[in-house]
Structure 1
Amino acid sequence: MSDTHVHQSHPEIVKRLKRAEGHLRAIVGMIDAQRPCLDVAQQLHAVEKAIGQAKRTLIQDHLDHCLEHVSGAMPREQRRSVEEFKEITKYL
């Protein structure tokens, strides 16, 4: 499988990450401006959540698309295990 593939979700993931990048720069500015730690921590939490969501979206998209061609050739019983694996990863 090639590493140069693009999935439908990639543009949205890039948009989210660029937004988080800008937000992170703003947080550095908050620290430089000696803003209260509570404010900084709240903003760091928001960036962390945004990056985590981007990661989950990327992983789910990979599982949905990249494993699909492999599992499609499997017997039905084995495909069920792959489907269960894909489903449980939503809880990561």
Structure 2
Amino acid sequence: MTEPTHTHTSHAAISKRLKRAEGHLRSIIAMMADGRACVDLAQQLHAVEKAICQAKRTLIQDHIDHCLEHSAEAIAKGERGALEEFKQITKYL
């Protein structure tokens, strides 16, 4: 989070996906309070996990697609910051 105003066109879709996952998590908590079966809870948790993983994957792929050119240019100029940022984000793949 080095640049607070750093956004891509995919951020709106990612935000929407995460908000749905947030609502889904609230539903799972309610299911637990209602005493729903563990298999039902596990299934719903799996769905949330997949949604979050897809949001992360989309974010990273978008970053790579849009920032790799900038990184290559910066490396050519001898700037190491862009390469370090690229290395940092790839550890989350």
State the TM-score, normalizing by the size of structure 1.
0.75
Whether 1:4 aligns to 2:5 is yes
In 1: Cα distance, 2:67 partner to 2:22 partner = 28
Q: Residue 43 of structure 1 corresponds to which residue in structure 2?
A: 44
Structure 2's unaligned 5+ residue stretches are: 77-89
In 1: Cα distance, 2:57 partner to 2:8 partner = 14
Cα deviation, residue 41, structure 1: 0.3
Give RMSD over aligned pairs.
Answer: 2.1
Work out the number of aligned pairs and report it. Answer: 79
- Spell out, residue by residue over 1:39-88, the C-alpha distance to the aligned partner (whole angstroms, 9 max, x if none): 0000000000000000000011111111222225778xxxxxxxxxxxxx
State the TM-score, normalizing by the size of structure 2.
0.74
In 2: Cα distance, 1:40 partner to 1:6 partner = 34
